Amino acid sequence: MKGIIFTEFVELVETTFGYGVANALLEGCDLPSGGAYTTVGTYDHEEILSLVGRLQKLTGTPAPDLLEAYGKYLFPKLAEQMTAMSLKFDGALDLLCSLESIIHKEVLKLYPDAELPSFNIKKINAKEILMEYRSCRPFAHLAKGLIDGCGDYYQQTLSVSMKHLNTDTEFSTLITVRQS
């Protein structure tokens, strides 16, 4: 998992919960990286799961809510990179529909070793899409937070519902996005 996910997560914890919680979080997790993250580095996704799990205990906020909040916080950071990559979209749904066909392709060009989730996207109508999230990692809520962040970014109101279809070997979630 790319370093930006970790650096931004730590920054979010520092900002939202203060250095004390951040210290307890990093000290309380036995992180192989020791919490020394750099945006250009790549780290085991287990570390973010450890961090989220520890934060849940420290703050009492459920992990899915933490991931969604993080996703929402993360999106504008990623959007900056998209701008740098000259990727432009008409709105939230346009961006989401292009996720697989354009954005992930560009990401793989920059980071050939990146392990990205797959999205099977179906356009229901002009205002509604169905996204099938499939990954070996349980980050469907991070995805939801990112979708919310996307709506905020384009200043569009999106209602996002999720239906988990996880199996023993794979995490799968149907995400319905409606623009109102």
Amino acid at 122: K
- Cβ 39 to other proteins shortest distance, Å: 8
Burial class (CB within 10 angstroms; exposed 0-12, middle 13-18, buried 19+) of 112: exposed
Give the angle 172-12-105 at the CA atoms, nearest 5°: 45
Task: Encode 64-103: b = buried (16+ Cβ within 10 Å), e = exposed.
Answer: bebbbbbbbbbbeebbeebeeeeeebebbbebbbbbbeeb
Q: What is residue 27's three-state secondary structure?
A: helix
The only residue of 4, 8, 17, 41 in contact with other proteins, by rule CB under 8 A: 41
Query: In the complex with other proteins, which residue's Cβ is closer, 113 or 168?
Result: 113
Segment interacting with other proteins (CB under 8 A) among 22-30, 64-72, 127-135, 163-171? 22-30
Query: In the complex with other proteins, which residue's Cβ is closer, 27 or 94?
Result: 27
The only residue of 1, 22, 143, 177 in contact with other proteins, by rule CB under 8 A: 22
Q: Is 13 in the site for other proteins (CB under 8 A)?
A: no
How far is residue 58's CA from residue 95's CA, in Å, rounded to a whole number? 35
Q: Is 28 in the site for other proteins (CB under 8 A)?
A: no
- Cβ 135 to other proteins shortest distance, Å: 25
Pairing, β 171-179 against β 158-164:
antiparallel
- Cβ 35 to other proteins shortest distance, Å: 5
The only residue of 23, 118, 156, 161 in contact with other proteins, by rule CB under 8 A: 23
Footprint on this chain of other proteins (rule: CB under 8 A)? 18-20, 22-23, 26, 34-41
